[in-house]
Structure 1
Amino acid sequence: MTTRLGLLTTFWLIVTGLLVALVATASAGAKQKTPEAWPMNFALVRNGDCKVSCVQWISAEGTITADTGRQFEQFLAKLKGQRLPVVFQSGGGDVASALWIGRMIRAAGLETAVGRTVLNGCPMLVPRCPEKIVKNGWSEGEVHAGGAYCFSACPFALAGGQVRAAAVGARIALHQITDGSKKSAYADGTQKPRRNFYEA
């Protein structure tokens, strides 16, 4: 009897320890930002053998921050006038920065599109993984329209393109932009932002 009680006690201690470990792991995972919430960054991506024929683009993915405009300006300077389409995947972010990016794109005569960049060798859950982004060089990958999106402030950057494209399956969404004041912009006195979705 004593032996059985000892085994049961050991068993429950093991189960309790596993549960505590699982809760700790889940809490740590919840604190980590998903790729969609990472600050926007830029990468040169190509697909195919460029000695014969290839597709090249600037991949712009992540949340637009107040510093994203400055980063894009520096990125464009390194291209030395090379005109490549900018492919966006973003949930939006800082409006002023998005407008600045759009103006730079228009001034440089670039085209824009909505698309998900999938880099070769990246896991399915993080298709544009940081470890496969080549700094000061070309990353290898593909661009997909399915599941691609450009929301909130992102369309202001997208609109800067001389030619703008969104294939079937890509989504573009706009909503009311405010200055943070509580005064309603609607005749009916409502405060709730209204979002319009456009699906290609």
Structure 2
Amino acid sequence: MIRIVRNIIAGCVLVASAGHAQEPIDPDNPTCPIAPNWSNNETMVLTPKMVGDTKILLAEGAVDADLPDRMRKMLSDNPDITEIWLRSSGGNARAGNETGRVIREADALIITRIPQGWTCFSACNFVFMGGRARIVEPGAHFMVHMFTMTNDRNAINYSIEMGTDSTVGLIGEVEQQSALLATEDNDFLIRMGVSRKLLSEIMYQTNAVKTEDGDGSTRRCLTNEEALRYNVANVSG
């Protein structure tokens, strides 16, 4: 209990001020910045760091398949980590879910935070949801999109070259895997205490690709009010 109280106090001390500079807006995705600050690391780099008397973990870069194991080891080796600060362009969807579970199951009350100016996109969303206390600071971006299994354009192009049967088979596999992952995402949100309306009202209402009528919006950044409404953030930043 003492550890939990200490962590909560540490989270409150680290909350940033509400003032922040206005970022240029993406005309195709007007709720989001045109140049998201989500790190160029090809795999997520985990860096413990002291901020005052508090040990935090910087988690920066793409969510890769090995991240759950690295996160588990990092938290085991550093049981005094109280916060994880995230910026990421996403990556491996299932690794994002698994890493979120690793954070939730850690022997501590871990606070996850998206600091002012940073962006947490796609698979990073689910890593962030693993925190028992979750903070999206003013000026930070919890960025979502419609999940699709069609990111591997090389596989799709190859199947088209191979002919109709191959393409139909790939489409069937894509549909099956997308449905399975949607079920996993829904279960994950329930376990993490996040409203399932985030999927139905936000994620599934966002275009997976640009539409024929010229709508180029494929990303959606939650407002601070929305983050709290859907319980994505459960502590006001």
If the length of structure 2 is used for normalisation, what is the TM-score?
0.48
Output the CA distance in 1 between the equivalents of 2:139 and 2:39.
Answer: 20
8 A contact 1:41–1:68 mirrored in 2 = no
**Residue 84 of structure 1 aligns with which residue?**
82
Output the CA distance in 2 between the equivalents of 1:94 and 1:163.
Answer: 23
Give the number of the structure whose residues are more often helix, by fraction.
2
Q: Check if 1:196 corresponds to 2:220.
A: yes
8 A contact 1:170–1:199 mirrored in 2 = no
Cα offset, 1:73, TM superposition? 1.6
SS of corresponding position for 1:165: strand
Q: Check if 1:178 corresponds to 2:178.
A: no
8 A contact 2:101–2:130 mirrored in 1 = yes
Distance change >3 Å, CA 60–CA 196, structure 1 → 2:
same
- Between structure 1 and structure 2, the one with the greater Rg is 1
Name the % identity. Answer: 28
Output the CA distance in 1 between the equivalents of 2:209 and 2:49.
Answer: 41
Distance change >3 Å, CA 97–CA 55, structure 1 → 2:
same
1:148-184 CA distance string (max 9 Å, x none): 1101111111011101001111001111112334669
1:67-124 CA distance string (max 9 Å, x none): 1122112212212x43411110111111111111100111113110012xxxxxxxxx
User: Which runs of 5 or more residues in structure 2 are unaligned?
Assistant: 1-37, 151-170, 180-203, 211-216, 225-237
- Aligned pair count reads 130
Output the CA distance in 2 between the equivalents of 1:64 and 1:55.
Answer: 25
**Residue 42 of structure 1 aligns with which residue?**
46
- How large is the RMSD of aligned CA atoms in angstroms? 3.0
Output the CA distance in 1 between the equivalents of 2:39 and 2:130.
Answer: 25
Output the CA distance in 2 between the equivalents of 1:190 and 1:106.
Answer: 29
**Residue 127 of structure 2 aligns with which residue?**
157
Output the CA distance in 2 between the equivalents of 1:190 and 1:90.
Answer: 19
Output the CA distance in 1 between the equivalents of 2:209 and 2:46.
Answer: 35
Give the number of the structure whose residues are more often strand, by fraction.
1
After superposition, where does 1:125-140 map in structure 2 within 5 Å?
A: none
If the length of structure 1 is used for normalisation, what is the TM-score?
0.56
